[in-house]
């Protein structure tokens, strides 16, 4: 069996040991005679899986005791509505910092539920940098301030945590959660789809400070009410059981790697290798401000767009897939999440060198 180097932005590559363990346990989980996919979410077997996954997430991220961890469905796009439905009533308005396509979607969705103030917007600069906080126009009466910590399409990332004072900071961390240490106490709420860095699609993790719950708008569906989900241990409705199980295996794997500090070092080494090559080449270019470059998603363009198809064809022939950039920006994009190996990035850089030598 040959495994490819999968540079997909999501659903993304998963650690091979996790996949092998899941395959071995597919028909019979720990002598239960059942697959996890067949288990009742209220049975003792799955409850133990659920509890271990939450405990591992709390340990790895250092989640304080006064925060609830919720396992929900709907993805980050669902949370674009669920967050304001649960939080915006605390003042009727919210601040959004727009640094790319995903935070733009978040801002537009929130406007359906209350007054939205765009505190900063980098679209005029083609979403190639993170605006300095002194440029933000924050509303002290806002219910929360929303950011996207890493923009998957544009490849910009917050390498600092905004200080929003008494106004809770909300972050969509879908594409960089668990990629580096984070001080959860500086956020009121963190949400993330699992399918990029911590598991398969179908699971959304929400980490929310307890005092922010209990303020849901009357229109909020019960299944999306943070308070109800917290009171029911994320089982108000049937949770995405198999995705939670896989996430638990991924988290255990990350712990075995040495935790967040080791994972951050691994991710920095991969990103440095790729960015150093891009910076030294006149054939490829990365448009993002150096101080704001993502460690997770690296967009780049070739000197001649007419060569894009040949580049992708050659990459696939060498076992490297999903390098095509998002349709809104074109070019290429290498997503190098936690499970992408250093060897995968080395193979990509070597191929890029060969392609440049042939076409440059």
Catalytic residues: 102, 172, 196
Nearest of 217, 222, 216 to residue 236 by alpha carbon: 222
Cα-Cα-Cα-Cα dihedral sign, residues 239, 242, 245, 246: negative
Using DSSP's 3-state secondary structure scheme, residue 76 falls into helix
Helix pair angle (308-317, 342-359), 10° resolution: 130
What are the Cα distances from residue 124, in Å, to 98, 102, 129, 131, 140? 11, 16, 11, 12, 25
Q: Which two three-digit tokens encode residue 179?
A: 């990629």
**58 contact partners, CB below 8 Å, separation of at least 6:** 69
CA distance 349 to 19: 26
Q: State the virtual CA torsion across 67, 69, 74, 75 in degrees, nearest 10.
A: 80
**24 contact partners, CB below 8 Å, separation of at least 6:** none
Q: Which residues pair with 118 in a beta bridge?
A: 96
Q: Which residues pair with 148 in a beta bridge?
A: 172
CA distance 15 to 268: 18
Pairing of β 145-148 and β 5-6: unpaired
What are the Cα distances from residue 216, in Å, to 66, 213, 222, 239? 19, 7, 10, 20
Question: Do the beta carbons of residue 330 and residue 337 sit within 8 Å?
Answer: no
Nearest of 140, 85, 149, 76 to residue 111 by alpha carbon: 85
Question: Do the beta carbons of residue 103 and residue 151 sit within 8 Å?
Answer: yes
Question: Do the beta carbons of residue 154 and residue 101 sit within 8 Å?
Answer: yes
């Amino acid at each position: 069996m040959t495994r490819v180097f999968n540079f997909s932005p999501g659903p993304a590559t998963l650690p091979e040991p996790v996949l092998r363990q899941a395959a071995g346990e597919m028909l019979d989980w720990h002598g239960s005679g059942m697959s996890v996919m067949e288990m009742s979410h209220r049975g003792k077997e799955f409850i133990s899986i659920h509890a271990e996954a939450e405990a591992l997430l709390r340990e790895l991220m250092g989640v304080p005791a006064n925060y609830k961890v919720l396992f929900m469905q709907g993805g980050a796009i669902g949370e674009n509505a669920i967050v304001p439905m649960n939080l915006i009533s605390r003042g009727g308005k919210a601040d959004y910092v727009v640094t790319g396509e995903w935070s733009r979607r978040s801002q537009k969705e929130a406007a359906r539920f209350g007054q939205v103030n765009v505190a900063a917007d980098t679209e005029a600069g083609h979403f190639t940098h993170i605006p300095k906080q002194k440029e933000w126009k924050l509303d002290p009466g806002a219910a929360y301030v929303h950011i996207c910590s890493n923009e998957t399409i544009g490849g910009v990332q917050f390498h600092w945590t905004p200080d929003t004072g008494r106004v809770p900071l909300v972050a969509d961390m879908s594409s960089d959660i668990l990629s580096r240490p984070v001080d959860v106490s500086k956020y009121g709420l963190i949400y993330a789809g699992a399918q990029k860095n911590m598991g398969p699609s179908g699971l959304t993790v929400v980490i929310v400070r307890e005092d922010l719950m209990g303020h849901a708008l009357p229109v909020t569906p019960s299944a999306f009410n943070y308070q109800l989900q917290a009171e029911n241990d994320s089982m108000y409705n049937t949770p995405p059981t198999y995705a939670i199980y896989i996430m638990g295996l991924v988290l255990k794997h990350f712990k075995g790697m040495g935790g967040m500090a080791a994972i951050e070092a691994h991710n920095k080494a991969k990103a440095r290798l790729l960015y150093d090559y891009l910076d030294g080449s006149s054939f490829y270019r990365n448009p993002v401000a150096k101080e704001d470059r993502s460690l997770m998603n690296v967009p780049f363009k070739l000197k001649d767009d007419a060569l894009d198809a040949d580049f992708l064809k050659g990459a696939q022939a060498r076992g490297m897939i999903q390098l095509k950039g998002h349709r809104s920006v074109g070019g290429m994009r290498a997503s190098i999440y936690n499970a992408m190996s250093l060897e995968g990035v080395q193979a990509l850089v070597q191929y890029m060198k060969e392609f440049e030598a042939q076409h440059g």
